[in-house]
């Protein structure tokens, strides 16, 4: 019995330590949303909009944690158009998005600044877009919210910061 309790305590300590390390590593990424209430396709309901923006922020932070030590990434998201379209006829407590593969692909407009030890080493505007979002293999589960947007962001991040996509996939 004492042995089991020690194992549980040790496992808990390891989990706490890993969570602390992740939070510290993720702090090298700063995400700001410019006029999110005017975004092309994020819910007008403030609570739902905040949920989407929080999830995207966490995703950017997770990716930013893969940057080399001493680098800080600052992202300003200017517009978001989520994959699919909301179908008003299917309104429920949770909005249902219908994916047709037509003109409903995900798009994100952003700008970023990458700093190394406080000095700017890169910056650009970026237009993320995935017109063939329904035809790609997607490592995110079919039930995961924003799976198409996350895949698109992963592809952009890997290319923009020269980080192998396989390394990003392992950090999930």
For 88-140, how does the pLDDT look when each residue is reduced to its tens digit (9 = 90+)?
A: 555 555 555 555 555 678 999 999 999 999 999 999 999 999 888 888 888 88
The pTM score is 0.75
Query: Tokens standing for 101?
Result: 């593969």
Q: What is the pLDDT of residues 50-66, one digit of tens each?
A: 999 999 999 999 999 99
**Predicted local confidence at residue 131, as pLDDT:** 86
Q: Which residues pair with 85 in a beta bridge?
A: 98
User: What pLDDT is stored for residue 90 in this prediction?
Assistant: 52
CA dist., res. 14 & res. 139, Å (int): 27
Position 47 scores a pLDDT of 85
Other beta carbons within 10 angstroms of residue 22's beta carbon come to 14
Rounded-to-integer distance, Cα 37 and Cα 57, Å? 16
């Amino acid at each position: 019995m004492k042995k089991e309790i020690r194992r549980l305590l040790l496992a808990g300590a390891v989990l706490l330590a890993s969570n602390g390390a992740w939070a510290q590593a993720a702090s090298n990424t700063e995400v700001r949303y410019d006029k999110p209430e005017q975004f092309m396709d994020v819910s007008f309901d403030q609570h739902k909009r905040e949920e989407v923006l929080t999830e995207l922020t966490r995703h950017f932070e997770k990716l930013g944690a893969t940057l080399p030590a001493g680098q800080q990434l600052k992202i300003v998201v200017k517009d978001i158009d989520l994959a699919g379209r909301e179908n008003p006829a299917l309104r429920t407590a949770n909005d249902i998005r219908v994916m047709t593969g037509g003109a409903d692909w995900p798009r994100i407009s952003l700008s970023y600044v990458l700093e190394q030890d406080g000095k700017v080493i890169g910056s650009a505007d970026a237009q993320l877009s995935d017109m063939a979002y329904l035809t790609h293999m997607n490592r995110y589960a079919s039930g995961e919210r924003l799976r198409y947007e996350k895949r698109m962001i992963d592809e952009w991040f890997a290319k923009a910061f020269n980080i192998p996509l396989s390394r990003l996939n392992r950090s999930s």
